Every structure is written in structure tokens, then in C-alpha cells.
Structure 1
Amino acid sequence: MSTTNPAVPAVPAVPTAPEASEVTRARRTGGDLVVESLAALGARTVFGLPGQHALGIFDALRRSALRYVGLRVENNAGFAADAYARTTHGVAPLLVSTGPGALMTLAALQEAAAGSAAVLAIGSQVPLAGIGGGRHGYLHELTDQSASFRGVVKSVHTARTASQIPSAVAAAWASALSAPHGPVWLEIPQDVLLAPVDVPPVAELTVSVPELRPRAELIAAAADRLAGARTPVILAGGGVVRAGAEAELLTLAERLRAPVATTFGGKGAFPWEHPLSLRSWLEDRHTTRFLEDADTLLVVGSGLGELSSNYHTFRPRGRVIQIEADLGKLESNHAALGIHADARQALGALAAAVAERVGEGERGSAAADGGADGPDAPEAAVAGLLARVRERIDGQGLDLEQQVLAAVRDALPDEGVSCWDMTILAYWAWSAFDARRPNALHSAQGAGGLGYGFPAALGAAVAEPGRPVLAVSGDGGAMYSIAELATARQYDLPVTWLIVDDGGYGILREYMTDAFGQATATELTRPDFVALAESFGVPALRTSPERLRTDLAAALASPGPSVVVLPALLRMFAPTHLAP
């Protein structure tokens, strides 16, 4: 029953202040320009960790459609963004704060630079008036924050006004995507991020990333050398994978009947079981000699650095052709016919320019050995090399290591992704693990920092939802990223983390024992990894080499994150850059 007296006029309601959410919806800031610019360029996911000066960006995130994945440590957020960029062949935005938060990304950005991952790191700065002086005493203040990044990333960008933000984001995005891909740094002062803006939302931003096409005369010269080669061989590096040039590589190799070795960064660039596949045994003197003996060696997407040249022991006797998108790596270690180009463009052009070999290119005379399929044919030479490598490894009493690696390979579905930390099992994987498909194995072998495996796997899981993802760490490396178990649980990411617990820094233990007779500072007190994972709400179990295949397969098939701990003391194969 109504208690209103219709004879009494209604008193007009006193206007009330609008709800805070209404004010927020109507008020746009420099932070909105950042997230609008990212969305306009095609970003769908951002990684990061908030901080005081960066709150303008993080506040704007909730007004956007961007997916935010927050990690617990900035360095780990950088590793996650790195793997996301590698997996998608695109740009991964990374949002962090000033000073300590910014500096904590440096190791991850170094890895992204070494691995050519397009990470767009956006950090805040102290208020505009305090930049460069070091005199205002702002929290997190650095005298020259951007100087910390110049020796690590491809380019450094700054936006000092709101109107500069969209163009600065677009310029940084284009730099990250230009060949070769790589990380970039953009910083924006706190007050610019927080200040209201009276401009329309960013609806469209376009960037022009020029294709790095090979010069026609260089392709003609390379095609002529390859066509005239008696024993052509191809070394395929990470540039093939980053360019998505696997099909072009296969076509060219088959037309030339040229054996193909892949670097550790080039895992998956060429089918592992192909008759022309030399696989990835680059830390092996037999493989080094095979590459050295080629009368024409085509190196594509590799700078022939330390690991790809068997610790700089590689000495080619024939002519070298090098295709490389990174101009600084072109002929940086060996004289070559250098072709500055994207791997896909150059390989496609070469495949179109060379004629298919029929009965040519085999090692030895076709008349003497019975023709193109005789014992010195390229396929037979490949099989012979792999047999020699296998005999060498089998003679070192490393059955446990091979058993463990085979169990991991059997447990991981063919469509799965694996991310490897700097641990002994990863060193084995670089040489002996079949990735089964392109761009499905990521590791920290570029810069070599610890802690990559698990956060990278989280980034890969975000990039490819629905695929099983495996992370592999040693107990030492695991402690760098143990906090990210909370991230895995929070976002329910389907990552299985294999932790090989050998009681310390295993590879350093081996290096020091070999060099000095005993190891120092390598032995570690560890937590109960199973109990620790379970305290985060992540299922975990302890396994053995005999049960590893079954336990790991079950964990990978289960939804959400999981941890499998393998107590095992693994050893490396002998230093294979030395003559046997």
C-alpha cells in the first residue's frame, strides 16, 4: 500500500554526484591512448605487471577489449611476451613501471633480442619535469632510464605529450616487426599517462613494414653457384622459422638434393625424418666436418655464432652463401656471398631459379657408385653421418639421458609446444629432440639466461589456446620462476612443468668439474617442489625415469597447469667440438 499523500506536492530530488564509474567512462587519459593504439595496431593480449607510475595504462586496460595477462615478476612477464611473439610471429606488448620494474625486464629483452622476438616493452617514467635531472627525488627515478635499454633493444622511443602517444606506439610497433624482428622500448611519463585527453579515441593506426627482398643479381649468382655445386649442403637457422620459410626450404633442398642441418634456433625448420635431414647435431665433430666439406654451403637465417659453428671451430673449405635478415650478422664470422634478405623471400626466389637435380649432386661419381642412388648419394651420406653420430653418443654410457629425452618426446603430443630452460636436458634437446612441427620448440639459447622455460610456456599457452604446452627446467632455473605457479593457476593455463631435480646447477657443476676438478657454488637447497606446487593449487607428482613417459603424458592430457618432478642426475655428452 502506498504511503504517498497525493495532496502534497513531490519535493524534487536533490541532484547527486555521478557514480565514480560514470566519471571514469567519460574521462579518457593518456593511458587510454596507449591501449587504443595497441588495439588499433592489432594487439589482442598484453603482458605485464603494474606499478605506481604506470597506473594510467592499467586503469585504461579495463576500458579496453585487450586481454591482460599479469605475471609476478617483470622478467618473467618479458619471457612470456617473448614466447608469445615467437609463437604468433607478431608483436607482444609488455607493460611495466619505472625504475626497478623497467630494469627487471632487461634479461628477458636480451633474450628477445638474441632470439628475434618482437616484444614491445612500454614503461612509465617519472613526471615529465623530473626526467633527466635526477634531482627531484621521485620514487623509482633514474637519471637516464632509456640509456639502460639502448644496448639491448632495437630502438628506444619516448612520448612526452599525449598527442605523441599514437605515433610513438606505431613507430615502436613497426620497429619491432621490421626485419629482423626484435624487442623495442617505449617510455611515457606518469603525468602524461594520467592527464585527461580531449581527442577522439584512436580508431585506426597503420604501420608500413617493408619486405626485405633479395637483390635479383645476388639470387642469380647464388643460384648459379648452387646449380654448379657437386656437394651442396644447407644450414638452416632460426631466421627460417621466424620467417615461416619452412616450405620454401623444403622445396629448395629437394630440388638440389642438398642435405640440411638445422641450428638449435632453427629446430623444426626441416622435417626431422626426411632422408636429407642432418638434424641438429651441431656440437659434433662429424657434423662439423660434413658442413666443412661441402663445396657450396648455403647458410640461411643464421649468423654462424658460437653454438651454430661448434664453438667457432667450423672452418668451411668450400664457398659459402649466407642469407640473413640481420645486416650486422651478414658475413660477421665467415666470408660469403652475402644476401641481406628475409629468409622466405630469398629461399622462394632461389627455389624458382635452380633446376631440379636428377642424378647430380651426389657425393662421388655416379658412374662409379651405381648412379644417383648409390652409396655416395646425398641421402646415403646423410644416413652415414647420423650413424656415426649415434655410434659416438651410444659409446658414452648415457642411456639414462637418452631414456629421459625419449620419454619426454613420446609423452608430448605432436601438436604440442615445448619451452626449455638452460638445463642439461635442454642441451640434449637442442641436438636430439624432434620438434615435430615448425615453431614448436622455444629455448633460451640465444642469451642463455636462467628462468626462461616456465614463463615462456605460459606465454605460448596464451598464444595457442588448446595446445598442450610443456616447460622443462632444472631445479636451479625453476627457482627463478616459481612465483609464476600463481599465474598459471590464476589464468588456468594448460602448461605442464617438468622440473629435473639434480640438486643444483647441473651444467655448471659439469663445466667446473671438467675445468677445475671440482665444483664450487653449484649445490643448492631446494624446496619440496611437489608440496610447493600443491600449495598454489597446482596438481603435482614426483616421478622416476621408468614412469616419466606415463606420468608426463597424463599431466599433459589434464586440463590446467601441472607439475612433474623428476629427481635425476643427468650428464652431458662429451665435448664434441674436439676431435674424437
Structure 2
Amino acid sequence: MTRIGGDVVVETLRALGADTVFGLPGQHALGLFEALRRTDSLRVISSRVENNLAFAADGHARARLAADPHGPVPVTPMIVSTGPGALLTLAALQESRAASVPVLGISSQIPVAGLGGGRHGYLHELPDQQASFRDVVKSTHVVRSVSQLPSALREAWTSAATAPYGPAWVEIPQDVLLAPAQLPPLTDVSAAPAPPQPLPELVAEAAKLLAGAENPVILAGGGALRAGAHDALRGLAETLRAPVVSTFGGKGVFPWEHELSAQSWMEDWHTTQLLADADVLLVLGSGLGELSSNYREFAPRGRIVQVEADLGKLESNYPALGIHADVRRFLEALRVPARTADGRAENAVRQLLSRVESRLDSQDLAAERKLIEDVRAALPTGTQTFWDMTIAAYWAWSAWNPDGAPMHTAQGAGGLGYGLPGALGAAAAGVRAVAVSGDGGAMYGLAELATTVQHDLDVTWLLIDDGGYGILREYLTGAFGRTTGTELARPDFVALAESFGIPARRSSLPTVRADLAEAVRTPGPSVVVLPAVLKMFAATHLA
């Protein structure tokens, strides 16, 4: 057969390291899907809705990064068609950008002659499709000839895989995908993204500040987790005898039960005070944004050293000694003298966690706390979880013990519908995955039950049915004493799952641990529906 532009795309992706692509066909992308049909070197995972397809690519990249944080950056390609198909991915790409997930979005386009016009009358035509993505993704690339394909894809791959990771976007016109390829077959296209290295003088200044600190504290964010800084962080914490707080995005980078682990109660005022009281606060891979600063209530009284791969986040919220660097590279370059263990840091951690426990004990939250414990206990070691924006996830941000079970959430951008498609993306990587959604968020992704069956993906979906948008119900009631638009009609989720041929069961709070454990043991897709109305813990400030 005559090789076409679509074949060059497939060859380039394979040479760059892709083995799986997430794709949904469309009229302008036919040349690319024909090329995918011809090859046996790339597995194609479909979906029913483009936004879910992009969430699945995000989940696939996160799962592979969690499984091997020191390996090649797992850029995950996602292919959609022009106009409506492309635009439907925007919300998911916003999450990938906010959470620094390496996704490579590839979209078809109208023929080259029509680019930039917006008046040619092509189906799916936009005046400037690229403009819709420019402020959402890290970089955009438009190809106008077959010869440009390898370099454009390599540039986009490098962009996605360069810390801070994030989505890149490539647009390829219909006629380029169908054009005869004059290039020889490609097998040696490589990308070598270099992580940002810290400046030695700044590392030395950070070491000086930490060595002189009497009360150092470490805040470990998502950048530390993505950098694979687990061992280096633990070594530094034990050398400094410094408490470690993990942000919601950094959960899992530091052992949850370690004597220096202050865990992740970022919305608890006692944790905010622990961070504020540090004479030197070392912030690793966090921009100290809204959630990490307890909704801007954090007011540091000491110095901040902020290490961040995203240059734009340095000192964006608080003055600091800003160090633009990959967190693991910084920690590997840092040299500080070891402190004698005098028990002060360990005592501070114990007191903090005791205060958190007492605060929770003073509220009627036994059901919610037990649910998180039961879900955690039901999962085999290493099970990766994908949480939608639901009350259970808000609890898990703070309370979930991530040791041996990486946790992924949509709290980067906060959009609904992440749980099931994120988990099916992980399952496509061969990772045992569990999704947790509320009934409101579940309605965004119900169609993907068909995807789990079609590809026989090993996904368990815990669907907590409280009859509406539970967290918004709480927010509106708390602010105005009443709700609007939060109560939802919904289907019989068990019957619906069974109509797809998926084993499903209706659970209860007393039985959810056993029900979920049994579902996880069941090969292939499975669904557990838990009717329950959950409450959030009250945000309490010190007097």
C-alpha cells in the first residue's frame, strides 16, 4: 500500500515510545485511523465521548508515571477529529495542564488551503481552532506538510515531557494525513527532555537557610511526586528532623505512617499553623495555591524556600527564595548537616495529628471516616484509585492513606467526570484501577461502561449515590440555607451496568468493604453502587 501522512504519524509516535493511543475517529482524521488499522505496533483504546477520551489518556499517563517515576516520561497520545470533537477535550486538557500530566493531543484539521480562513464552509470548520487550545495546553503545533510531521510531533512530545509536564497539542490537516509520504519509514525519532537543573548558588543558599533553622518544615507537593523524589525526600526529612506535610497532589511521596509525616490535612487550621510557624519552610513542587494555602489563610512567619519546575509559579503567591528546578535534582544536589534527633519534630507531628483527631471526634462523622477506611482496606496493595469531584474524594484528599496505593484526583482543575475514564485509562496500561464517583459526576461518564466492556478493562467503579451534587448541596446550604439545581433524577445504576453485561451490586455502609473487595477480585469491569448521603468535616479555625 502507498504510505500516507497518517502512516508517518504512527511511525513517529511509535519511535518516540508510544505503545497505546486513545482515539475517536472523525471525517478529517480518516487517514490517521487507516494508518492505525495498518499497524500492529500501537494499541488503540476508544471512548464514547471526546472529553472522556482525554481523561482516559490523562489517567493512563498518571498510572504509568506512578508505576515507574524514574523511567521515561510516559507521554500518552490522544487522537480526535476537527471542531466539535477537538473542543470537547478542553475541560480534560485543563485538568492535565493543572495537574502537570504529559498528554499529547492530536487533532485533524480542515485542508491546508482553508486554515485560518473560517469562511470556506468545511464541516467542523473553526476560524482558528488552535486559538481555542493556546491558553489551555503547554504548546500548540500546526502541520502543513508531511515533511513537517516528525519534527512537529517530536517538539510536542518534548514539550509534554519537559517538567513541568503537561498537555501539548498538534493539528494536522485532512489532506496532509491522506497525502502520499515521500519520507522513508521512520524508526529512529527520539526526544530527550531535560529536567531543569538547580543553580548551584541557590542550592547553597537553601542549604545555609535549612542548616540554620531551628524549626524547619517541609511541604511536599505534586511536583515532588512526579519527580520521583520519594527516597531523596525521606532522606532529607530524616537528616533535618523536619515534619513533612503532603499537599493533596503530593500524597504518596512521603510515607503516611512515618514518625515525621504530618499527613495531608491541608484544610485543617492546625496544619496551616504548623506550616506558618516554621522558621524555614521548604516547599517542594507546589505553587502554594488556593488549596495548599488553606484558601489563602496561610500566613508564614519565617522564610520560604520554594523549589518548582514551573517557572511561573515561583513566588506567584508568597515571597520566597525561588529555585527553578526539578525537585529530585534539587534534593540530590542539596547537602545539609544531620541533626540530632531530640524528639521535637516527632512530638509536633503527634500533637498535630492528635488535634486533627480530636476535631473530627467532636463532629458527627463516624460514617464518613469509616467509609474511607473501608475503601482503603478493601483494595489490594498497589491498586491505583481515581476520584471524581465528590464528597468522598474531598475526604480522601485529606484522609486517604496512599502508601502502596497511588491516588489520582481531578482537583487540579476541579471538573466533574474524571473518575471512570481516568481509571479505564490506567487499566489500559495494565494497572489494577478503582474509580470513585458520586451520582452527579457518574452521569458524565456512563457511556464509558461500554468502553470498559469493549476493551475488557479491569476497572471497578464505586458509585456513591446521594441523589444529587452532594458537595454543592453542602456549599449552597451553608452559604444561603437552601439549594438550587443540586437534586438530580438518575437511573437505576445497578440495572444500567448489568445491561452492559457488567457485574454490579447494590451495597450499604456496613457492607461496602466486603462488596468492594469482592468486586475488585472480579476480573474485568465491575460496579458497586452505594446509596449514602455523606457530610464534609467542618472547617475550624483556631480562636
Query: TM tier, shorter chain?
Result: over 0.9
- How many equivalent pairs are there? 534
1:574 aligns to what SS in structure 2?
coil
Q: What is the aligned partner in structure 2 of residue 52 from structure 1?
A: 27
Q: Distance in 2 between matches of 1:278 and 1:453?
A: 27
Q: What is the aligned partner in structure 1 of residue 382 from structure 2?
A: 415
Q: What is the aligned partner in structure 2 of residue 511 from structure 1?
A: 475
- C-alpha displacement at 1:88, in angstroms? 2.1
Residue of 486, 492, 506 corresponding to 1:528: 492
1:525-556 CA distance string (max 9 Å, x none): 01000000011111100000000000000000
Residue of 72, 92, 103 corresponding to 2:48: 72
Q: What is the aligned partner in structure 2 of residue 449 from structure 1?
A: 415
Q: CA contact under 8 A between 1:53 and 1:97: conserved in structure 2?
A: yes
| Structure 2 letter corresponding to 1:217 | E
Which consecutive residues of structure 1, in runs of 5 or more, have no partner in the other structure? Answer: 1-25, 360-371
What does 1:475-486 align with in structure 2 at a 5 Å threshold?
475-486=439-450
Q: Distance in 1 between matches of 2:478 and 2:118?
A: 48
What does 1:205-216 align with in structure 2 at a 5 Å threshold?
205-216=189-200
| Structure 1 letter corresponding to 2:443 | M
Q: What is the aligned partner in structure 1 of residue 457 from structure 2?
A: 493
Q: What is the aligned partner in structure 1 of residue 3 from structure 2?
A: 28
1:507 aligns to what SS in structure 2?
helix
Residue of 55, 58, 63 corresponding to 2:38: 63
1:348-379 CA distance string (max 9 Å, x none): 112xx1111114xxxxxxxxxxxx13xxx111
- C-alpha displacement at 1:211, in angstroms? 2.7
Q: Distance in 2 between matches of 1:184 and 1:417?
A: 25
Q: What is the aligned partner in structure 2 of residue 163 from structure 1?
A: 147
1:465-490 CA distance string (max 9 Å, x none): 1x431100000000000000001111
Taking only aligned residues, the RMSD between alpha carbons, in angstroms, comes to: 0.9
Q: Distance in 2 between matches of 1:238 and 1:390?
A: 25
2:461 aligns to what SS in structure 1?
strand
- C-alpha displacement at 1:198, in angstroms? 2.5
Q: Distance in 2 between matches of 1:124 and 1:80?
A: 19
- C-alpha displacement at 1:87, in angstroms? 2.1
Residue of 368, 371, 375 corresponding to 1:404: 371
Q: State whether structure 2 residue 58 is matched by structure 1 residue 82.
A: yes
Q: CA contact under 8 A between 1:74 and 1:101: conserved in structure 2?
A: yes
- C-alpha displacement at 1:136, in angstroms? 1.4
| Structure 1 letter corresponding to 2:213 | A
Q: State whether structure 2 residue 436 is matched by structure 1 residue 460.
A: no
1:538-576 CA distance string (max 9 Å, x none): 110000000000000000011000000000000000024
Q: Distance in 2 between matches of 1:476 and 1:71?
A: 20
TM-score by length of structure 2 reads 0.97
1:6-28 CA distance string (max 9 Å, x none): xxxxxxxxxxxxxxxxxxxx211
- C-alpha displacement at 1:196, in angstroms? 1.4
Q: CA contact under 8 A between 2:50 and 2:89: conserved in structure 1?
A: yes
Q: Distance in 2 between matches of 1:425 and 1:199?
A: 52
Q: What is the aligned partner in structure 2 of residue 40 from structure 1?
A: 15
Q: Distance in 1 between matches of 2:519 and 2:192?
A: 44
1:242-284 CA distance string (max 9 Å, x none): 1111111011101101000000000101000000000000000
2:520 aligns to what SS in structure 1?
helix
Q: CA contact under 8 A between 1:323 and 1:340: conserved in structure 2?
A: yes
Q: CA contact under 8 A between 2:256 and 2:403: conserved in structure 1?
A: yes
Q: What is the aligned partner in structure 1 of residue 233 from structure 2?
A: 249
- C-alpha displacement at 1:128, in angstroms? 1.0
Residue of 562, 567, 579 corresponding to 2:531: 567
Q: What is the aligned partner in structure 1 of residue 204 from structure 2?
A: 220
Q: What is the aligned partner in structure 2 of residue 357 from structure 1?
A: 339
Runs of 4+ displaced beyond 6 Å = none
Q: State whether structure 2 residue 181 is matched by structure 1 residue 197.
A: yes
| Structure 2 letter corresponding to 1:41 | L
| Structure 2 letter corresponding to 1:564 | V
| Structure 2 letter corresponding to 1:42 | G
1:273 aligns to what SS in structure 2?
coil
Q: What is the aligned partner in structure 2 of residue 425 from structure 1?
A: 392
Q: Distance in 2 between matches of 1:142 and 1:122?
A: 16
Q: CA contact under 8 A between 1:468 and 1:557: conserved in structure 2?
A: no
Q: CA contact under 8 A between 1:413 and 1:468: conserved in structure 2?
A: no
Q: What is the aligned partner in structure 2 of residue 15 from structure 1?
A: none
Q: State whether structure 2 residue 283 is matched by structure 1 residue 299.
A: yes
1:480 aligns to what SS in structure 2?
helix
| Structure 1 letter corresponding to 2:44 | Y
Q: CA contact under 8 A between 1:213 and 1:345: conserved in structure 2?
A: yes
Q: What is the aligned partner in structure 1 of residue 71 from structure 2?
A: none
Q: State whether structure 2 residue 248 is matched by structure 1 residue 235.
A: no
Q: What is the aligned partner in structure 1 of residue 70 from structure 2?
A: none
Q: What is the aligned partner in structure 1 of residue 69 from structure 2?
A: none
Q: CA contact under 8 A between 2:63 and 2:384: conserved in structure 1?
A: no
Residue of 119, 138, 159 corresponding to 1:154: 138
Q: CA contact under 8 A between 2:141 and 2:152: conserved in structure 1?
A: yes
Q: Which moved more, 1:191-200 or 1:549-558?
A: 191-200
1:208-256 CA distance string (max 9 Å, x none): 3123110111111101111111010000000011111111101110110
Residue of 275, 283, 292 corresponding to 1:308: 292
Q: Distance in 1 between matches of 2:542 and 2:104?
A: 44
Q: Distance in 2 between matches of 1:332 and 1:427?
A: 25
Q: State whether structure 2 residue 246 is matched by structure 1 residue 267.
A: no
1:563 aligns to what SS in structure 2?
strand
Q: CA contact under 8 A between 1:34 and 1:165: conserved in structure 2?
A: yes
Q: Distance in 2 between matches of 1:173 and 1:108?
A: 18
| Structure 1 letter corresponding to 2:147 | S
Q: CA contact under 8 A between 1:36 and 1:203: conserved in structure 2?
A: yes
Q: CA contact under 8 A between 1:233 and 1:294: conserved in structure 2?
A: yes
Q: CA contact under 8 A between 1:80 and 1:456: conserved in structure 2?
A: yes
1:62 aligns to what SS in structure 2?
helix
| Structure 1 letter corresponding to 2:485 | A
- C-alpha displacement at 1:437, in angstroms? 2.9
Q: CA contact under 8 A between 2:427 and 2:459: conserved in structure 1?
A: yes
Q: What is the aligned partner in structure 1 of residue 304 from structure 2?
A: 320
- C-alpha displacement at 1:394, in angstroms? 1.2
Q: Distance in 1 between matches of 2:455 and 2:361?
A: 43
Q: Which moved more, 1:420-429 or 1:218-227?
A: 218-227
